[in-house]
């Protein structure tokens, strides 16, 4: 399997090339050159698989066996990740933090010298494993996999940067019979783009209770435009370059029609998030995180629509991480001793303060880490 850039101006790479990088050289994002379509028999077979087995099957499709043989596609555990982590915190929002990161990735020489890679949804590998959520959710929710055609399941995706939504679109392209609903918080650019072709920044980022979705520049829409435009990289390149320069783009009508035909979308306020968290607790004694509540509020609003279709809401986080929202909903958190213990642990990070040159500071930090690592290795 080879990977190409959504902007079509960078050569193709294998999985390793896509994994060990961030943006493609031309500023685009990596996508698989071919999206395999699974037949009904395969879907039926997969329906009996556990979640780890599904991840393995999917990875074996998108990672060539010459690179990693299927039998070696296993998870790893241990402290390799945590022991290598250097953390940087910034006094800004997701979009502001993305800027210096983009700048460093655009510096080819620096990026290669320090082996920069990103593990957020800029990176194909994160999208790849998220595809498994949809297969797993489908098989858990579909009333039967013996019917022909297979029944449709509606999957509601709390959406910020559009990474998880991209994975859903890919699962759909692979033949999984799902209807996708993208639900955003008050930062509604994805919703406006899908409904009205309006890909434009609103005046200010609105801080919401679902803070991980407070995003004004949903970079994965680039992948979604590529998918819905039939891999039209010229169109994607001009749209995205225009968007990142002017911050206001009107999508071509044809693309907008395809988007609104293929995806439903909604925007949810903080009041609805709080109301949903409370309601779900009262009805089920299930505590939602505010991001999950964004999706579930769609469910409460549409519980009487399509009664024949099963619906699944994706839950991207634990409420334990979002105590403020839980308190706003007048609910209480039952924090396990393992989690409570973390609060007393020592923390170590460098802070990017407002007014600082963040790209320069990040550069210095990365150089220091490389130097330290080389010293340790020598």
Residues at the site binding ligand PLP, with contacts judged by CB under 6 A: 121, 158-165, 212-213, 220, 291, 316-317
Nearest distance, CB of residue 266 and ligand PLP, angstroms: 14
Shorter beta-carbon distance to ligand PLP: residue 5 or 121: 121
CA neighbor of 170 nearest in space, from 229, 223, 239, 122:
223
CB atoms within 10 A of CB 70: 12
Nearest distance, CB of residue 130 and ligand PLP, angstroms: 7
Nearest distance, CB of residue 297 and ligand PLP, angstroms: 14
Phi, psi of 341 (to 5 degrees): -60, -35
Shorter beta-carbon distance to ligand PLP: residue 121 or 297: 121
Query: What is the token pair recorded at 101?
Result: 């990161």
Shorter beta-carbon distance to ligand PLP: residue 123 or 159: 159
Shorter beta-carbon distance to ligand PLP: residue 142 or 212: 212
Nearest distance, CB of residue 333 and ligand PLP, angstroms: 16
Shorter beta-carbon distance to ligand PLP: residue 47 or 161: 161
CA–CA gap between residue 7 and residue 359 (Å, rounded)? 25
Shorter beta-carbon distance to ligand PLP: residue 73 or 88: 88
Query: What is the token pair recorded at 294?
Result: 């964004």
Nearest distance, CB of residue 169 and ligand PLP, angstroms: 12
CA–CA gap between residue 352 and residue 91 (Å, rounded)? 6
Shorter beta-carbon distance to ligand PLP: residue 73 or 317: 317
Nearest distance, CB of residue 202 and ligand PLP, angstroms: 17
Nearest distance, CB of residue 336 and ligand PLP, angstroms: 19
Shorter beta-carbon distance to ligand PLP: residue 32 or 158: 158
Shorter beta-carbon distance to ligand PLP: residue 162 or 197: 162
CA–CA gap between residue 122 and residue 220 (Å, rounded)? 7
Nearest distance, CB of residue 127 and ligand PLP, angstroms: 9
Nearest distance, CB of residue 268 and ligand PLP, angstroms: 13
């Amino acid at each position: 399997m080879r990977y190409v850039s959504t902007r079509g101006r960078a050569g193709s790479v294998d999985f390793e090339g896509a994994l060990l990088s961030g943006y493609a050289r031309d500023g685009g994002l990596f996508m698989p050159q071919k999206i395999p379509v699974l037949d009904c028999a395969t879907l039926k077979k997969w329906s009996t698989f556990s979640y780890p087995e599904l991840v393995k099957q999917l990875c074996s499709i998108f990672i060539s066996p010459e690179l990693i043989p299927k039998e070696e596609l296993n998870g790893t555990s241990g402290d390799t990740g945590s022991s290598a982590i250097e953390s940087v915190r910034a006094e800004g929002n997701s979009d502001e933090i993305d800027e210096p990161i983009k700048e460093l990735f655009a510096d080819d020489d620096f990026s290669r010298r320090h082996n920069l890679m990103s593990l957020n949804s800029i990176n194909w590998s994160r999208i790849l494993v998220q595809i498994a959520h949809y297969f797993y959710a489908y098989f858990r929710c579909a009333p039967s996999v013996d019917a022909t055609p297979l029944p449709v399941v509606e999957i509601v995706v709390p959406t910020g940067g559009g990474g998880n939504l991209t994975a859903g679109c890919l699962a759909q392209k692979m033949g999984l019979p799902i209807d996708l609903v993208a639900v955003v918080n008050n930062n509604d650019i994805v919703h406006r783009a899908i409904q009205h072709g309006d890909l434009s920044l609103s005046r200010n980022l609105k801080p919401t209770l679902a803070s991980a979705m407070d995003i004004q520049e949903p970079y994965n829409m680039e992948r979604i435009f590529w998918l819905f435009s039939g891999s039209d990289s010229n169109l994607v390149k001009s749209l995205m370059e225009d968007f990142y320069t002017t911050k206001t783009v009107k999508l071509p009508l044809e693309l907008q029609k395809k988007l609104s035909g293929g995806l439903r979308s909604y925007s949810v306020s903080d009041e609805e998030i709080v109301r949903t968290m409370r309601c779900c607790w009262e009805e089920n004694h299930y505590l939602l995180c505010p991001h999950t509540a964004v999706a579930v509020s769609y469910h409460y609003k549409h519980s009487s629509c399509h009664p024949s279709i099963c619906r699944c809401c994706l839950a991207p986080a634990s409420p334990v991480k979002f105590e403020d929202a839980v308190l706003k909903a007048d609910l209480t958190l039952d924090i396990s001793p393992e989690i409570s213990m973390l609060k007393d642990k020592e923390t170590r990070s460098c802070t990017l303060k407002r007014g600082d040159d963040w790209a320069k500071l990040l550069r210095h930090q990365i150089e220091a880490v490389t130097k330290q690592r080389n010293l340790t290795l020598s």
